Amino acid sequence: MSGKTMWAVAAVVALAGVGILAARKIGSAPEQSRKPWPDVEEKRIMSVLDQMLSGPHSDILSVPPDDGKVLRLLAEATGARNIVEIGTSNGYAALWFCAALRTTGGKLTTFEIDPERVLLALENFERAGVTRLVKVVQGDAHKTVANLKEPIDIVFLDADKGGNLDYLNKLLPLVREGGLILAHDTTDSASRMQDYLKAVTTNPALETIFLHEQGPGIGVTLKKHQIK
């Protein structure tokens, strides 16, 4: 990450962390772990992530490793407990979130329309030992997200790019104050999500920055206030 990117991430993490912790009324830092690091479970997740880059389905489009690291860092640094991903594919990005959720004690709900990809993702979650952390919902996420009811700490949009505004409109009311909406491919697919980009950069209740713009791009939007 460049110095500029690191400062931007640090600022978002600080704001989001304060918001999420305040929402939960938690005043003290989590207990420091004395276990050796990386532990067996971390190594198992990282090994599956490595294999996914070179295995038989490595041609499936996922976030690049550097973007996966950003997702994990944001989730872990903000103590995210409830993460929603739109567009599971084979579960690559989901595994990065799972690496964070082991620490935060949270869960991921991830949505995928393609049944074959759902099966691939479930296999990868099994191999990585994270099935307890993740639930896959099969079907058109534009419809299935209607079943979500709990407050969300992080939304990650990475499915049909032209659908991002619809996902935003449906999920924003559930996002906590201090929660994050992350969108992948904000550089590469900007032309397909102009309405989304306008919404997250003009709404006064939201603060948006763009990371890794030299790559596919990640939009990081902080929900600063509850929207009436």
Ligand X SMILES: C[S@@+](CC[C@H](N)C(=O)[O-])C[C@H]1O[C@@H](n2cnc3c(N)ncnc32)[C@H](O)[C@@H]1O
The amino acid sitting at 210 is F
Interface with ligand X (CB under 6 A), residue total: 19
Asked if residue 123 binds ligand X (CB under 6 A), the reply is no
What is the DSSP code (8-state) at residue 191? G
Q: x-or-dash pattern for ligand X, window 84-113, by CB under 6 A?
A: ---x-x--xx-----------------xxx
- Minimum CB distance to ligand X, residue 64 (Å): 9
Asked if residue 164 binds ligand X (CB under 6 A), the reply is no
- Minimum CB distance to ligand X, residue 153 (Å): 17
Backbone conformation region of residue 54, classed left if phi is above 0, alpha if psi is from -120 to 50, else beta: alpha
- Minimum CB distance to ligand X, residue 127 (Å): 15
CA 142 to chain centre: 17
The Cα angle at residue 129 between residues 75 and 45, in degrees rounded to 5: 55
Angstrom distance (rounded) from CA 127 to CA 47: 10
Residues 57-86 that bind ligand X (CB under 6 A): 61-63
Q: Which residue is nearest to ligand X (CB)?
A: 87
> What is the chain's percent helix, strand, coil content, to nearest 5?
50, 20, 30
Do 182 and 108 contact (CB within 8 A), yes or no? no
Asked if residue 53 binds ligand X (CB under 6 A), the reply is no
Asked if residue 114 binds ligand X (CB under 6 A), the reply is yes
- Minimum CB distance to ligand X, residue 108 (Å): 11
Which residues lie near ligand X (CB under 6 A)? 61-63, 87, 89, 92-93, 111-114, 117, 140-142, 158-160, 163
